[in-house]
């Protein structure tokens, strides 16, 4: 390809195409993908805020694509609700050493009266022995109880509870 968007002939006389020659026709994301990306940002911001205040670490290590997977699960659970995700309140918790800690409460749209709650329970990766984890993740410059990094497991639970329903059972997605 030469400057100016012109094509040059490749070996054999066929024109050589580059990715610059094919412009995408639709730059906008569909509505569901926009909601998913917004949820991902909300969850990432929640974890970022909780690092030093509630998790007492300098970094949270999240498995690749896990936040997107959680967001898609949330969208799936919200699809049967009258206001969809706009009618949700999300409680984000993390399970560390068999104890659950509440990290945050996220209201997707504060102008809508909530019709259901979602509780997201993230889990600490327990594949590292606690003694080794403390050895590798606690730095000498941090105060006691402060760890360098918290590694999350790829597993999580997502629990849905309807607020205005006669049934007291919730829907659980466990991954």
Q: Which CA distances in Å does 46 have to 81, 82, 115, 167? A: 24, 26, 22, 30
Q: How many CB atoms lie within 10 A of CB 73?
A: 20
Measured distance CA(144)–CA(12) in Å, rounded: 69
Q: How confident is the model at residue 30 (pLDDT cuts 50, 70, 90)?
A: confident
**Axis crossing angle, helix 66-78 with helix 31-53, rounded to the nearest 10:** 120
Measured distance CA(40)–CA(106) in Å, rounded: 12
What pLDDT shows up at residue 47? 93
The architecture in CATH of the region 29-174 reads Alpha-Beta Complex (3.90)
For the chain, the domains span 29-174
pLDDT in tens, 121-142: 999 987 655 545 455 544 444 4
What pLDDT shows up at residue 72? 94
What pLDDT shows up at residue 97? 82
Measured distance CA(19)–CA(80) in Å, rounded: 41
Chain mean pLDDT for the chain? 77
Please check the confidence at residue 81 and state whether its pLDDT lies above 80.
yes
Measured distance CA(155)–CA(124) in Å, rounded: 9
Write down the pTM of the prediction: 0.71
């Amino acid at each position: 390809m030469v400057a100016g968007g012109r094509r040059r002939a490749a070996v054999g006389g066929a024109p050589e195409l580059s990715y610059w020659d094919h412009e995408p026709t639709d730059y906008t994301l569909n509505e569901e993908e926009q909601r998913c990306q917004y949820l991902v940002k909300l969850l990432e911001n929640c974890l970022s805020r909780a690092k030093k205040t509630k998790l007492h670490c300098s970094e949270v290590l999240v498995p690749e694509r896990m936040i997107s997977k959680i967001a898609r699960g949330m969208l799936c659970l919200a699809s049967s609700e009258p206001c969809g995700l706009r009618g949700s309140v999300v409680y984000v918790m993390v399970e560390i050493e068999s104890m659950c800690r509440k990290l945050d409460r996220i209201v997707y749209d504060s102008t809508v009266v909530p019709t259901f709650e979602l509780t997201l329970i993230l889990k600490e990766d327990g594949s590292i022995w606690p003694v080794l984890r403390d050895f590798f993740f606690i730095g000498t410059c941090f105060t006691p109880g402060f760890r360098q990094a918290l590694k999350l497991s790829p597993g999580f639970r997502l629990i849905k509870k309807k607020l205005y329903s006669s049934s007291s059972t919730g829907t659980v997605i466990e991954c």
